[in-house]
């Protein structure tokens, strides 16, 4: 346990549109999280197992914090996505074109939509805490 890096150095941040219902919000968060974790190198994030008193293992939870914030609209999410891209920060984003049908249909619909017409529903980032805070601090906690 003591070989782990300082957990305040890095973090995951998800920023989600406040315009979605709970089911959609959780679905978008799931897609963003799984996608982002797949983009990370094996030595970037740390995962730990928790063991309870009875010896049961609760496996593979993030050592780093996972913060969930909310955004008022698509344009604010678009700007976060653009900023992450410019800064070389690993991220995933999710738009309304990715909702209905299977992934093949969603990919086709997204490809047929101009970027400026995409409605962003969420962005998920992983990186150095101070760098992420620099451009996500204006968002409030999702409650």
For the cut 70, the answer to whether the pLDDT of residue 2 exceeds it is no
Kindly report the CATH number assigned to the domain that includes residue 33: 3.40.1490.10
Q: Is residue 4 part of a domain?
A: no
Q: Is residue 5 part of a domain?
A: no
* Residue range 86-104, pLDDT digits in tens: 999 999 999 999 999 999 9
Dihedral sign of CA atoms 47, 9, 122, 26 in order: positive
CA–CA separation, 77 and 20 (whole Å): 14
pLDDT at 3: 84
Q: Is residue 22 part of a domain?
A: yes
Report the percentage of the chain scoring pLDDT > 70: 99
Give the count of domains, the chain. Answer: 1
Q: Is residue 1 part of a domain?
A: no
Domain carrying residue 29: 10-141
pTM: 0.95
Q: Is residue 48 part of a domain?
A: yes
């Amino acid at each position: 346990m003591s070989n782990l890096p300082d957990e305040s150095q890095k973090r995951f941040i998800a920023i989600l549109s406040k315009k979605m219902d709970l089911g959609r919000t959780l679905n978008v968060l799931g897609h963003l999280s799984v996608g982002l974790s797949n983009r990370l190198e094996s030595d970037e994030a740390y995962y730990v197992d928790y063991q309870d008193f009875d010896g049961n293992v609760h496996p593979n939870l993030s050592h780093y914090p996972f913060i969930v914030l909310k955004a008022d609209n698509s344009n604010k999410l678009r700007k976060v996505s653009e900023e992450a891209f410019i800064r070389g920060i690993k991220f995933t984003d999710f738009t309304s074109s990715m909702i209905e049908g299977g992934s093949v249909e969603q990919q086709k619909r997204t490809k047929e939509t101009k970027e400026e017409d995409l409605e962003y529903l969420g962005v998920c980032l992983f990186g150095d805490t101070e760098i992420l805070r620099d451009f996500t601090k204006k968002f409030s906690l999702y409650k």
